[in-house]
Amino acid sequence: MAHGLVLRRDRAPPRRRVAVAAALGAAVKDSNPNQIGLRPLRLCLRGLRCLTTLLLLAAPASAAERYALIVSGANGDESYAQQYAAWRKALADTLEQKLGFDASHIIVLFDGGEGDRASTAAGVRQALDKLRARVNQPDLLFVFLIGHGTFDGNDAKFNLVGPDLESTEWAARLRPIAGRLVIVNSTGASFPFLERLAGPRRIVIAATESPAQRFDTVFPEYFIRALADPAADIDKNGRVSVLEAFIAASVGVRRYYEQRGQLATERAVLDDNGDGQGKEAEGDGTDGSLASRTYLDADLPGAAPTDEEMLGLLQKKASLEADIDDLKQRRQLMTRDEYDKEFEKLMIDLAKVSREIRLRKKT
Protein backbone atom coordinates (compact mmCIF):
# COMPACT_ATOMS: atom_id res chain seq x y z
CA MET A 1 0.00 0.00 0.00
CA ALA A 2 1.50 3.29 -1.07
CA HIS A 3 2.09 5.73 1.74
CA GLY A 4 0.96 9.32 1.97
CA LEU A 5 -2.67 8.71 1.08
CA VAL A 6 -4.86 10.84 3.32
CA LEU A 7 -8.01 9.15 4.57
CA ARG A 8 -10.70 10.66 6.72
CA ARG A 9 -13.38 9.00 8.78
CA ASP A 10 -16.90 9.05 7.38
CA ARG A 11 -20.19 8.25 8.99
CA ALA A 12 -21.39 4.68 9.31
CA PRO A 13 -21.82 2.78 6.02
CA PRO A 14 -25.28 3.39 4.53
CA ARG A 15 -28.05 1.03 3.56
CA ARG A 16 -27.21 -1.56 1.01
CA ARG A 17 -25.53 -4.83 1.99
CA VAL A 18 -26.16 -6.81 -1.17
CA ALA A 19 -23.31 -8.53 -2.93
CA VAL A 20 -21.66 -10.64 -5.49
CA ALA A 21 -21.95 -14.26 -4.44
CA ALA A 22 -18.52 -15.82 -4.11
CA ALA A 23 -16.00 -16.74 -1.47
CA LEU A 24 -12.28 -16.47 -1.02
CA GLY A 25 -9.85 -18.84 0.65
CA ALA A 26 -6.82 -17.85 2.67
CA ALA A 27 -3.71 -16.52 0.97
CA VAL A 28 -0.73 -14.39 1.82
CA LYS A 29 -0.48 -11.73 4.51
CA ASP A 30 -1.64 -8.25 3.63
CA SER A 31 1.62 -6.79 4.94
CA ASN A 32 3.35 -7.94 1.76
CA PRO A 33 2.84 -5.03 -0.68
CA ASN A 34 3.10 -7.31 -3.70
CA GLN A 35 0.28 -9.64 -2.78
CA ILE A 36 -3.30 -9.46 -1.59
CA GLY A 37 -4.12 -10.91 1.78
CA LEU A 38 -7.15 -13.11 1.38
CA ARG A 39 -8.75 -15.09 4.14
CA PRO A 40 -11.95 -17.12 4.10
CA LEU A 41 -14.84 -14.77 3.48
CA ARG A 42 -18.45 -15.78 3.86
CA LEU A 43 -20.34 -15.06 0.67
CA CYS A 44 -23.39 -16.82 -0.69
CA LEU A 45 -23.57 -18.67 -3.99
CA ARG A 46 -26.79 -17.41 -5.51
CA GLY A 47 -25.25 -14.57 -7.49
CA LEU A 48 -23.00 -16.86 -9.54
CA ARG A 49 -25.72 -19.12 -10.92
CA CYS A 50 -25.34 -19.42 -14.62
CA LEU A 51 -27.51 -17.18 -16.79
CA THR A 52 -27.38 -18.68 -20.26
CA THR A 53 -28.05 -15.45 -22.08
CA LEU A 54 -25.20 -13.70 -20.30
CA LEU A 55 -22.88 -16.59 -21.11
CA LEU A 56 -23.46 -15.93 -24.79
CA LEU A 57 -22.60 -12.28 -24.30
CA ALA A 58 -19.28 -13.02 -22.61
CA ALA A 59 -17.40 -13.80 -25.81
CA PRO A 60 -13.76 -14.91 -25.51
CA ALA A 61 -11.34 -12.01 -25.64
CA SER A 62 -9.22 -13.85 -28.23
CA ALA A 63 -11.98 -13.33 -30.82
CA ALA A 64 -11.93 -9.61 -30.24
CA GLU A 65 -9.67 -6.62 -29.77
CA ARG A 66 -9.12 -5.16 -26.31
CA TYR A 67 -8.87 -1.46 -25.54
CA ALA A 68 -8.32 0.54 -22.37
CA LEU A 69 -8.91 4.13 -21.31
CA ILE A 70 -7.21 5.17 -18.08
CA VAL A 71 -8.15 8.64 -16.86
CA SER A 72 -6.24 10.09 -13.91
CA GLY A 73 -8.10 13.28 -13.04
CA ALA A 74 -7.13 16.52 -11.34
CA ASN A 75 -4.47 15.83 -8.73
CA GLY A 76 -5.00 18.43 -6.06
CA ASP A 77 -1.89 18.52 -3.88
CA GLU A 78 1.43 16.79 -4.51
CA SER A 79 0.71 13.73 -2.36
CA TYR A 80 -2.23 12.88 -4.61
CA ALA A 81 -0.15 13.52 -7.72
CA GLN A 82 2.38 10.91 -6.64
CA GLN A 83 -0.30 8.39 -5.66
CA TYR A 84 -2.28 8.77 -8.87
CA ALA A 85 0.87 8.54 -10.99
CA ALA A 86 1.81 5.29 -9.24
CA TRP A 87 -1.65 3.81 -9.77
CA ARG A 88 -1.97 4.71 -13.43
CA LYS A 89 1.54 3.42 -14.20
CA ALA A 90 0.88 0.18 -12.34
CA LEU A 91 -2.38 -0.31 -14.21
CA ALA A 92 -0.94 0.48 -17.65
CA ASP A 93 2.02 -1.83 -16.99
CA THR A 94 -0.29 -4.61 -15.82
CA LEU A 95 -2.50 -4.32 -18.89
CA GLU A 96 0.41 -4.33 -21.33
CA GLN A 97 2.99 -6.57 -19.68
CA LYS A 98 0.84 -9.09 -17.81
CA LEU A 99 -2.52 -9.11 -19.59
CA GLY A 100 -1.18 -8.70 -23.12
CA PHE A 101 -2.89 -5.49 -24.21
CA ASP A 102 -1.50 -3.89 -27.37
CA ALA A 103 0.27 -0.71 -26.19
CA SER A 104 -1.39 1.24 -29.00
CA HIS A 105 -4.79 0.24 -27.59
CA ILE A 106 -4.14 1.84 -24.19
CA ILE A 107 -5.04 5.52 -23.83
CA VAL A 108 -3.82 7.27 -20.68
CA LEU A 109 -4.99 10.77 -19.75
CA PHE A 110 -3.57 12.59 -16.72
CA ASP A 111 -3.14 15.92 -14.99
CA GLY A 112 -0.08 17.45 -16.64
CA GLY A 113 -0.44 15.48 -19.84
CA GLU A 114 0.14 17.44 -23.03
CA GLY A 115 -2.25 17.73 -25.94
CA ASP A 116 -4.55 14.75 -26.29
CA ARG A 117 -3.05 13.16 -23.15
CA ALA A 118 -4.45 15.83 -20.83
CA SER A 119 -7.23 14.76 -18.46
CA THR A 120 -9.53 17.59 -19.46
CA ALA A 121 -13.14 17.44 -20.58
CA ALA A 122 -11.95 17.97 -24.15
CA GLY A 123 -9.35 15.22 -23.76
CA VAL A 124 -11.94 12.74 -22.47
CA ARG A 125 -14.38 13.59 -25.25
CA GLN A 126 -11.69 13.19 -27.89
CA ALA A 127 -10.56 9.85 -26.46
CA LEU A 128 -14.10 8.48 -26.33
CA ASP A 129 -14.73 9.66 -29.90
CA LYS A 130 -11.64 7.74 -31.05
CA LEU A 131 -12.73 4.64 -29.20
CA ARG A 132 -16.24 4.82 -30.59
CA ALA A 133 -14.74 4.70 -34.09
CA ARG A 134 -12.39 1.81 -33.29
CA VAL A 135 -14.29 -0.50 -30.93
CA ASN A 136 -16.52 -3.03 -32.68
CA GLN A 137 -19.25 -5.21 -31.21
CA PRO A 138 -17.07 -8.22 -30.26
CA ASP A 139 -14.38 -5.99 -28.73
CA LEU A 140 -13.83 -5.15 -25.08
CA LEU A 141 -13.23 -1.67 -23.68
CA PHE A 142 -11.87 -1.26 -20.15
CA VAL A 143 -12.35 2.21 -18.61
CA PHE A 144 -10.68 3.05 -15.30
CA LEU A 145 -11.07 6.38 -13.49
CA ILE A 146 -8.55 7.47 -10.85
CA GLY A 147 -8.89 10.60 -8.76
CA HIS A 148 -11.43 12.68 -6.90
CA GLY A 149 -15.21 12.51 -7.17
CA THR A 150 -17.95 14.84 -5.98
CA PHE A 151 -21.72 14.74 -5.61
CA ASP A 152 -23.93 17.86 -5.57
CA GLY A 153 -27.13 16.15 -4.46
CA ASN A 154 -28.27 15.57 -8.02
CA ASP A 155 -25.39 14.17 -10.04
CA ALA A 156 -21.84 12.98 -9.49
CA LYS A 157 -18.76 14.36 -11.19
CA PHE A 158 -15.32 12.96 -11.86
CA ASN A 159 -12.89 15.80 -11.24
CA LEU A 160 -10.89 16.73 -14.34
CA VAL A 161 -8.44 19.52 -15.08
CA GLY A 162 -10.76 22.44 -15.72
CA PRO A 163 -14.50 21.81 -16.12
CA ASP A 164 -15.66 18.39 -14.94
CA LEU A 165 -17.89 15.88 -16.68
CA GLU A 166 -21.03 14.70 -14.92
CA SER A 167 -21.99 11.04 -14.90
CA THR A 168 -24.85 11.81 -17.29
CA GLU A 169 -22.41 12.97 -19.97
CA TRP A 170 -20.17 9.97 -19.40
CA ALA A 171 -23.22 7.77 -19.92
CA ALA A 172 -24.20 9.59 -23.11
CA ARG A 173 -20.72 9.35 -24.60
CA LEU A 174 -20.23 5.68 -23.71
CA ARG A 175 -23.67 4.66 -25.00
CA PRO A 176 -22.75 4.59 -28.74
CA ILE A 177 -19.68 2.40 -28.20
CA ALA A 178 -20.51 -1.01 -29.65
CA GLY A 179 -18.24 -3.30 -27.67
CA ARG A 180 -18.44 -4.93 -24.28
CA LEU A 181 -17.61 -2.46 -21.52
CA VAL A 182 -15.91 -2.87 -18.15
CA ILE A 183 -16.04 0.46 -16.32
CA VAL A 184 -14.42 1.12 -12.95
CA ASN A 185 -14.84 4.44 -11.18
CA SER A 186 -12.47 4.18 -8.24
CA THR A 187 -13.20 7.59 -6.70
CA GLY A 188 -15.26 8.66 -3.73
CA ALA A 189 -18.95 9.47 -4.34
CA SER A 190 -18.84 7.21 -7.41
CA PHE A 191 -22.08 5.26 -6.94
CA PRO A 192 -24.17 7.54 -9.21
CA PHE A 193 -21.85 6.54 -12.07
CA LEU A 194 -22.96 2.95 -11.60
CA GLU A 195 -26.61 4.01 -11.68
CA ARG A 196 -26.14 6.02 -14.88
CA LEU A 197 -23.76 3.74 -16.77
CA ALA A 198 -25.31 0.32 -16.09
CA GLY A 199 -26.70 -1.47 -19.13
CA PRO A 200 -26.59 -4.59 -21.33
CA ARG A 201 -23.17 -6.14 -21.94
CA ARG A 202 -21.65 -3.87 -19.32
CA ILE A 203 -19.86 -4.43 -16.06
CA VAL A 204 -19.80 -1.29 -13.94
CA ILE A 205 -17.88 -1.03 -10.67
CA ALA A 206 -18.00 1.89 -8.25
CA ALA A 207 -15.65 2.22 -5.29
CA THR A 208 -18.52 3.42 -3.09
CA GLU A 209 -22.06 2.12 -2.61
CA SER A 210 -23.41 5.59 -1.89
CA PRO A 211 -22.61 9.17 -2.91
CA ALA A 212 -22.38 9.87 0.83
CA GLN A 213 -19.13 7.87 0.86
CA ARG A 214 -17.24 10.82 -0.53
CA PHE A 215 -13.73 10.57 0.89
CA ASP A 216 -10.52 9.28 -0.65
CA THR A 217 -10.50 5.60 -1.57
CA VAL A 218 -7.93 2.82 -1.47
CA PHE A 219 -9.96 0.57 -3.79
CA PRO A 220 -7.75 1.24 -6.86
CA GLU A 221 -4.68 -0.01 -5.00
CA TYR A 222 -6.24 -3.41 -4.40
CA PHE A 223 -8.13 -3.75 -7.68
CA ILE A 224 -5.08 -2.99 -9.82
CA ARG A 225 -3.00 -5.41 -7.75
CA ALA A 226 -5.63 -8.14 -8.07
CA LEU A 227 -5.81 -8.13 -11.86
CA ALA A 228 -2.66 -10.22 -12.18
CA ASP A 229 -2.39 -11.74 -8.70
CA PRO A 230 -2.73 -15.56 -8.60
CA ALA A 231 -4.09 -15.23 -5.05
CA ALA A 232 -7.22 -13.61 -6.51
CA ASP A 233 -7.93 -16.61 -8.76
CA ILE A 234 -10.80 -18.27 -6.87
CA ASP A 235 -11.57 -21.10 -9.29
CA LYS A 236 -7.87 -21.81 -9.93
CA ASN A 237 -8.23 -21.77 -13.70
CA GLY A 238 -5.05 -19.73 -14.10
CA ARG A 239 -6.85 -16.46 -14.83
CA VAL A 240 -8.41 -13.64 -12.83
CA SER A 241 -11.90 -12.64 -13.90
CA VAL A 242 -13.34 -9.18 -13.37
CA LEU A 243 -15.48 -10.62 -10.59
CA GLU A 244 -12.50 -12.21 -8.87
CA ALA A 245 -10.55 -8.94 -9.04
CA PHE A 246 -13.54 -7.10 -7.58
CA ILE A 247 -13.89 -9.56 -4.70
CA ALA A 248 -10.15 -9.52 -3.96
CA ALA A 249 -10.11 -5.72 -3.98
CA SER A 250 -13.11 -5.58 -1.65
CA VAL A 251 -11.37 -7.94 0.77
CA GLY A 252 -8.21 -5.85 0.61
CA VAL A 253 -10.12 -2.65 1.36
CA ARG A 254 -11.96 -4.22 4.27
CA ARG A 255 -8.73 -5.49 5.81
CA TYR A 256 -7.04 -2.13 5.25
CA TYR A 257 -9.52 -0.40 7.54
CA GLU A 258 -9.72 -3.27 10.03
CA GLN A 259 -5.96 -3.32 10.53
CA ARG A 260 -6.00 0.40 11.26
CA GLY A 261 -8.98 0.22 13.58
CA GLN A 262 -10.90 2.61 11.34
CA LEU A 263 -14.48 2.69 10.16
CA ALA A 264 -14.53 1.86 6.45
CA THR A 265 -15.40 4.91 4.38
CA GLU A 266 -15.85 2.96 1.15
CA ARG A 267 -17.76 -0.13 0.06
CA ALA A 268 -17.37 -1.08 -3.58
CA VAL A 269 -20.32 -2.29 -5.65
CA LEU A 270 -20.61 -4.14 -8.96
CA ASP A 271 -23.43 -4.22 -11.51
CA ASP A 272 -23.51 -6.50 -14.54
CA ASN A 273 -27.22 -7.17 -15.03
CA GLY A 274 -28.04 -3.61 -16.08
CA ASP A 275 -30.42 -2.70 -13.25
CA GLY A 276 -28.15 0.02 -11.87
CA GLN A 277 -28.43 -1.15 -8.26
CA GLY A 278 -25.05 -2.75 -7.69
CA LYS A 279 -23.92 -5.28 -5.12
CA GLU A 280 -21.12 -5.46 -2.61
CA ALA A 281 -18.81 -8.46 -2.34
CA GLU A 282 -20.53 -9.64 0.85
CA GLY A 283 -24.10 -10.81 0.66
CA ASP A 284 -26.32 -12.23 -2.05
CA GLY A 285 -27.84 -11.15 -5.32
CA THR A 286 -27.94 -11.90 -9.03
CA ASP A 287 -25.10 -9.70 -10.28
CA GLY A 288 -21.76 -11.34 -10.96
CA SER A 289 -22.54 -13.93 -13.62
CA LEU A 290 -21.23 -11.87 -16.53
CA ALA A 291 -18.28 -10.56 -14.51
CA SER A 292 -17.31 -14.12 -13.52
CA ARG A 293 -16.86 -14.96 -17.22
CA THR A 294 -15.20 -11.77 -18.33
CA TYR A 295 -11.41 -11.56 -18.40
CA LEU A 296 -9.17 -8.68 -19.38
CA ASP A 297 -6.44 -11.00 -20.64
CA ALA A 298 -6.60 -12.83 -23.95
CA ASP A 299 -7.71 -16.45 -24.02
CA LEU A 300 -4.68 -18.73 -24.24
CA PRO A 301 -4.66 -22.00 -26.19
CA GLY A 302 -5.11 -24.83 -23.74
CA ALA A 303 -6.14 -22.57 -20.88
CA ALA A 304 -8.29 -24.28 -18.30
CA PRO A 305 -11.97 -23.52 -18.85
CA THR A 306 -14.08 -22.08 -16.09
CA ASP A 307 -15.75 -25.02 -14.31
CA GLU A 308 -18.98 -23.67 -12.85
CA GLU A 309 -19.53 -26.74 -10.65
CA MET A 310 -15.96 -26.66 -9.31
CA LEU A 311 -16.23 -22.93 -8.67
CA GLY A 312 -19.38 -23.53 -6.65
CA LEU A 313 -17.68 -26.25 -4.60
CA LEU A 314 -14.66 -24.05 -3.91
CA GLN A 315 -16.93 -21.22 -2.83
CA LYS A 316 -18.87 -23.54 -0.53
CA LYS A 317 -15.63 -24.83 1.01
CA ALA A 318 -14.36 -21.29 1.65
CA SER A 319 -17.72 -20.31 3.12
CA LEU A 320 -17.64 -23.28 5.53
CA GLU A 321 -14.09 -22.40 6.54
CA ALA A 322 -15.28 -18.87 7.27
CA ASP A 323 -18.11 -20.28 9.40
CA ILE A 324 -15.61 -22.36 11.36
CA ASP A 325 -13.41 -19.31 11.95
CA ASP A 326 -16.43 -17.34 13.15
CA LEU A 327 -17.50 -20.18 15.44
CA LYS A 328 -14.06 -20.30 17.05
CA GLN A 329 -14.26 -16.58 17.74
CA ARG A 330 -17.64 -17.05 19.42
CA ARG A 331 -16.54 -20.02 21.50
CA GLN A 332 -16.32 -18.10 24.79
CA LEU A 333 -19.92 -16.96 24.37
CA MET A 334 -21.32 -20.49 23.96
CA THR A 335 -21.83 -23.50 26.18
CA ARG A 336 -19.57 -26.49 25.60
CA ASP A 337 -22.44 -28.55 24.17
CA GLU A 338 -23.55 -25.77 21.81
CA TYR A 339 -20.03 -25.29 20.52
CA ASP A 340 -19.32 -29.01 20.06
CA LYS A 341 -22.60 -29.59 18.24
CA GLU A 342 -22.13 -26.73 15.80
CA PHE A 343 -18.44 -27.49 15.29
CA GLU A 344 -19.18 -31.14 14.49
CA LYS A 345 -21.82 -30.19 11.92
CA LEU A 346 -19.52 -27.73 10.17
CA MET A 347 -16.64 -30.21 10.07
CA ILE A 348 -18.87 -32.91 8.59
CA ASP A 349 -20.10 -30.50 5.91
CA LEU A 350 -16.52 -29.42 5.19
CA ALA A 351 -15.39 -33.05 4.85
CA LYS A 352 -18.23 -33.72 2.39
CA VAL A 353 -17.49 -30.76 0.16
CA SER A 354 -13.73 -31.48 0.28
CA ARG A 355 -14.45 -35.01 -0.92
CA GLU A 356 -16.61 -33.65 -3.76
CA ILE A 357 -13.77 -31.36 -4.81
CA ARG A 358 -11.31 -34.26 -4.88
CA LEU A 359 -13.70 -36.34 -6.97
CA ARG A 360 -14.33 -33.44 -9.32
CA LYS A 361 -10.60 -32.98 -9.90
CA LYS A 362 -10.33 -36.62 -11.00
CA THR A 363 -12.98 -36.24 -13.71
Instruction: Supply the angle between the helices 336-362 and 308-329 in degrees, to the nearest 10.
Output: 160
| Residues 224-280: tens digit of each pLDDT | 999 999 999 998 889 999 999 999 999 999 999 999 999 999 999 999 999 999 999
* pLDDT band, residue 308 (cuts 50/70/90): low
Single out the residue of 94, 55, 87 nearest to residue 73, CA to CA: 87
- The one-letter amino acid code at 257 reads Y
CATH number of 46-292: 3.40.50.1460
Question: Using a CB cutoff of 8 Å and minimum separation of 24, what contacts does 90-98 make?
Answer: 90/224, 90/225, 91/144, 91/146, 91/220, 91/224, 91/227, 92/68, 94/224, 94/227, 94/228, 95/68, 95/142, 95/227, 95/296, 98/227, 98/228, 98/297
What does the pLDDT read at residue 282?
A: 78
| Residues 112-158: tens digit of each pLDDT | 999 999 999 999 999 999 999 999 988 999 999 999 999 988 889 99
pLDDT at 60 > cutoff 90: no
| Domain map (residue ranges) of the chain | 46-292, 308-362
* Residue that wins the pLDDT comparison between 310 and 255: 255
Contacts of 3 (CB under 8 A, 6+ apart): none
pTM for the model stands at 0.69
Percent pLDDT > 70 in the chain is: 78
What does the pLDDT read at residue 63?
A: 53
